[in-house]
Amino acid sequence: MKITGITCKMVHVPYKGHYQTSAGRTKFIRRVLVFIDADGGKDNGGITGVGETGAILPERGGETVEGIYIAITKYFAPLIIGMDPFDIGLVIDKIEGAQMGRTGFLCSKCGIDNALYDIMGQATNRPVAQLLGGIHKSHFRVSRSLGVKPPAELAKDAIELKEAGYALITIKIGFDPKEDIDRVAAVRDAVGPHFPLEVDVNSAYNVEDAIPTLRKMRAYDIEAIEQPGPWWDIQGMKDIRRAVNIPIIADESAWTPHDVINLAREGACDVICIKPFKNGGLYLARRMAEAAEAAGLGVSMGSKHPLSLGLAAILHFAAGTKAVRDPLGYGSPLERLADDVCTTPIEMNPGATVDLPVGPGLGVTVDDAKIEKYRVPDIDIPNTDIS
């Protein structure tokens, strides 16, 4: 089996309202859909795998949907045409060896990775989770993050989420410390004394603000703090962890297996948060999870708000990776987005749980009409040689 073609399509799907964190605010989810043909693709007797990747806002490494589109279309595709889709480790090595490096273009790699796993699953008539090591679990509880709003509105939203059955609520903070404490206090008061709460700083605090602010939040029985300081400040995270004595989750600091080793070596966190988009796809994310487990760190899963294609990849990874802990950080694109691009979007069950998709590959099918509805124009890439 050989890779015979790669095409990308960019789509912008609106949020239900908007989404805001300390990193910025947006009204649309921006995605790149990657179509990889094997042996001529589905229209010529072969197989076409589809992957999803993208960025809510520009990523740590600077990737945007436009940059991802160009990277895959102009640089990645010519490198891997003719390779065997099952040789995914060789594919990633080929990309990384061509001046791409191990730490760059991770969102771009994810689109390729997910489409290749979809091909492998279709070719063997097996779900991707089996290709990752077997289905350890197929039913998941779901948590939910709350974007930035006034305390009273957050409290109202938190009550609704608790009543809907969500297993945990993550409160986005990282603005004014006093206002952040008020937000956390309002949510705790609304949901009662025993409901699980986390906070996510999204790298916005420095050490001097983080330690006193997060110490005050201990009064509200916070279970974990996600990314309390700048992603690059490992020593600062270590200082915060020691001073606050609440488990620390590394997200923006945990992009590669090398990051996991450095975080574990320095004692800077207790858990790493895996998101296939930011971690380069399932192959590289699996290496991160194995490194974390070997180092005694927990593994959680966030999302970056994917459509059903990207969510299917998350669910297969969680199902096939024993180290991933429950609950998952996302249950359905229809939680937050106005629409989806699959024929049957993944939806949550009553009680805020979600099941592994059934079927070979990723187990979901794209809707061509929906893709065209939300598609944005392709980028005209000049035929230049930078070698």
For the chain, domain boundaries: 3-125+367-376, 130-355
Note whether 141 and 107 are within 8 A (CB).
no
Distance CA 217, CA 220 (A): 5
CA distance 236 to 253: 12
CA distance 367 to 279: 27
| Same fold yes or no, 3-125+367-376 and 130-355 | no
8 Å CB contact between 143 and 162? no
| Element of type H or E holding 36 | strand 24-38
State both tokens at 43.
């229209």
Which of the four CATH numbers 3.40.50.1000, 3.30.390.10, 3.30.499.10, 3.90.1150.10 does domain 3-125+367-376 have? Answer: 3.30.390.10
For residue 54, give both structure tokens: 């993208």
Q: How big is the chain, counted in residues?
A: 387
Q: How far apart are the first and last CA of the chain?
A: 30
Instruction: Tell me the helix, strand and coil percentages in the chain, rounded to 5.
Output: 40, 20, 35
pLDDT of residue 387: 44
Cβ 23 vs Cβ 103: under 8 Å: no
**Residue type for position 132:** L
Report residue 8 as tokens: 């990308």
DSSP run (H or E) holding 272: strand 271-274
Backbone angles phi, psi at 174, to 5 degrees: 115, 20
Helices assigned H by DSSP within the chain:
65-70, 77-80, 88-95, 106-124, 128-131, 151-164, 177-191, 207-217, 234-244, 257-266, 276-279, 282-294, 308-320, 368-374
Element holding 271 (H helix, E strand): strand 271-274
Q: What is the largest CA-CA distance in the chain?
A: 62
How do residues 287-344 score in pLDDT, each as one tens digit?
999 999 999 999 999 999 999 999 999 999 999 999 999 999 999 999 999 999 999 9
What's the CA gap between 285 and 193, in Å, rounded?
35
> Residue 28 belongs to what H/E stretch?
strand 24-38
Which tokens hold the place of 386?
């930078």
For residues 204 and 185, give the distance between their C-alpha atoms in angstroms, rounded to a whole number: 19
Q: pLDDT digits over 197-250, tens only?
A: 999 999 999 999 999 999 999 999 999 999 999 999 999 999 999 999 999 999
What is the spatial distance between Cα 250 and Cα 128, in angstroms, rounded to a whole number? 26
Which of 32, 172, 48 lies closest to 110 in space, CA to CA?
32
The tokens of 134 are what? 């077997």
User: Check: CATH 3.20.20.120 for 130-355?
Assistant: yes
Please name which of 297, 318, 183, 290 lies closest in space to residue 251, comparing C-alpha atoms.
Answer: 297
- For the chain, which residues score pLDDT lower than 70? 20-24, 58-59, 99-101, 383-387
